[in-house]
Amino acid sequence: MQEIAKLKEVLKAPQNIIITTHHKPDADALGSSLGLYNYLISKGHTVKVISPSDYPDFLKWMKGNSEVIVYDEEDGSKSKKLVEEADIIFCLDFSVLNRINGLGEYVREAKAVKVLIDHHRDPEAFADYGSHDIHSASTAQLVYKMIVSFGDKALITKDIAECFYAGIMTDTGSFKHPNTNKEVHEIVAQLIDLGADNSEVSRLIYDTNSLDRLKFLGFALSERLQVYPEYHAAFFAVSMEDLKKFNSKTGDTEGLVNYALSINGITMAALFTETEDGTKLSLRSIGDFEVNTLANQYFSGGGHKNAAGGKTDRNLSETVELFKKIIVKYNKELENKTPIE
């Protein structure tokens, strides 16, 4: 994989470009994609963003949102053709091709120059150029740094700055996680200088709840949270029926797992969500406990040290049973000096 700075030469002539990102994109995935999209358009390239799946309404304010192609909402042929015909494919905020579902094989086979910009662990070797840094808090800041390294900081408009700000804000847990270092604050300061309205971006993402979503949160906290103080672990197990009862939409469970992690003395938290073909899970941890390793070993997943995800074809209760066995096995590693009251 060649360093991303060398891509500047390739981008000198107008190119036919595809940008794609992971299944169920979050603010970093969509924000880095649309920030890059708007920049590349302004440079005269032909650009399309393809998302493997739909995404939450609270991300739909980003400039360029209405142009995003959702792969699993079309018959797939449009996306396949675009990927086959592309000169350059940017892969943002994911490190393994199975994160983009059926699109993954098209990207693998494509003749295009492939570019990976990402911060997840254990990247698959498929890209020709890349900016990959597991110590980076977000993909959005890696894209920002690429544009700056090309000498194009002046082309970052308010809209682009807000896309990147959204990615950095959410992937740092609103500047709370240990990945929030000096560079993060320096970059967001520059984004504010470039016009980003930080308070408004925060409102659009966090304070646009439906009443159903808040009621679901209340229900999940009172009825679906299980705490295992002796193992310093807690989790939510949510069924499809629960989701239906509260008219849940994509994104409504986002952030829920953090309530389990916020209990004083917890080392690892999980959210299990029943799906049509099994269970999807989100894992979070505090300190040295690596949830990406656990997600990979038991749930064909991955991610970061303190935030990872995966899925299994086991049903919800089987997944919960497996998880209970896992916390017993990792008893020592989960130890935490703070008792849970």
In the chain, where does DSSP find H-type helix?
Answer: 7-10, 27-42, 77-85, 103-109, 139-149, 158-171, 182-193, 198-206, 211-223, 240-245, 256-261, 291-299, 316-329
Which partner, Mn ion, ligand 5GP, none, binds residue 308 by CB below 5 to 8 Å per kind? ligand 5GP
Among Mn ion, ligand 5GP, none, what binds residue 32 when CB lies within 5 to 8 Å by partner kind? Answer: none
Q: How far is the CB of 126 from ligand 5GP (least distance, A)?
A: 14
Q: Does 25 bind ligand 5GP (CB under 6 A)?
A: no
- Of residues 252 through 291, those in contact with ligand 5GP by CB under 6 A are 282
Number of residues near ligand 5GP (by CB under 6 A): 14
Task: Select the binding partner of residue 282 from ligand 5GP, Mn ion, none (C-beta < 5 to 8 A, by kind).
Answer: ligand 5GP
Enumerate the β-bridge partners of residue 278.
275
Q: How far apart (Å, rounded) are the C-alpha atoms in residues 339 and 329?
A: 19
Q: 93-122 mask for ligand 5GP (x: CB under 6 A)?
A: ---x--x--------------------x--
Which residues, numbered 27-86, are part of the site for ligand 5GP (CB under 6 A)? none
Angstrom distance (rounded) from CA 294 to CA 140: 26
Give the neighbor-by-neighbor strand order of the sheet with 69-70: 2-3, 129-132, 113-118, 88-92, 16-21, 46-51, 69-70
Nearer CB in complex with ligand 5GP: 96/156: 96
- CA geometry: angle 249, 250, 254, nearest 5 deg: 110
User: Least distance (Å) from Mn ion to the CB of residue 209?
Assistant: 22
Using CB under 6 A as the criterion, which residues of the chain lie in contact with ligand 5GP when the complex forms? 22, 96, 99, 120, 282, 301-304, 307-311
